[in-house]
Amino acid sequence: MTAVLVINGPNLGRLGSREPDVYGSTSYAGLVERCTALGKELGLEVEVRETNDEGELIRWLHEAADGRTPVVLNPGAFTHYSYGMRDAAAQRTAPLIEVHISNPYTREEFRHTSVVAQIASGTIAGFGIGSYELALRALAEQLTNG
């Protein structure tokens, strides 16, 4: 099985209680369960991580680059301003898909800019927790078909 990291930035551990009208009612544990279950179906060994710490997220991206590990990345608020995270993601050695639960372009203007989008393999946004499932399916397709 191919190892895949699903990395989540700040506040995503609060899914289910954080603004359910925006982020839905699925808990973080539910997200982990859905990602790992779909991963098994797709032949992927999915590990889901979440941090509120920018430095830790950067270290995980370095780990992924060093291990040639594909990544599904929801940077959370770091999406809009973390050039350190962007530079770490740019070192990727395998596909990296940026994912967002909500559609940033339908929200506040500051959310319309992603520092990651230019270096990601692709971006999926606006499909709730399903955004992660779409990202994992796209990743599996990329890994299978190059």
What does the alpha-carbon distance between residue 26 and residue 36 come to, in Å, rounded to a whole number? 15
Kindly provide the b/e burial profile for residues 26-60, where b requires at least 16 CB atoms within 10 angstroms of the residue's own CB: bebeebbebbbebbeebebebbbebbbebeebbeb
- Output the average pLDDT for the chain: 90
So what's the pLDDT on residue 24?
58
Integer angstrom CA distances of residue 73 from 61, 117:
9, 11
Reply yes or no on whether 100 is catalytic. Answer: yes
Cα–Cα distance measured from residue 132 to residue 101, given in angstroms and rounded to the nearest whole number = 8
Please identify which of the residues 23, 28, 83, 112 carries the catalytic annotation: 23
Active-site residue, selected from the candidate residues 100, 105, 112, 132: 100
Model confidence, pTM: 0.90
Residue 18 has pLDDT above 80, yes or no: no
Is 62 part of the annotated catalytic residue set?
A: no
Structure confidence at residue 92 (pLDDT): 96
- Total domain count for the chain? 1
What is the CATH number for 34?
3.40.50.9100
Question: Which range of residues forms the domain containing residue 82?
Answer: 2-145
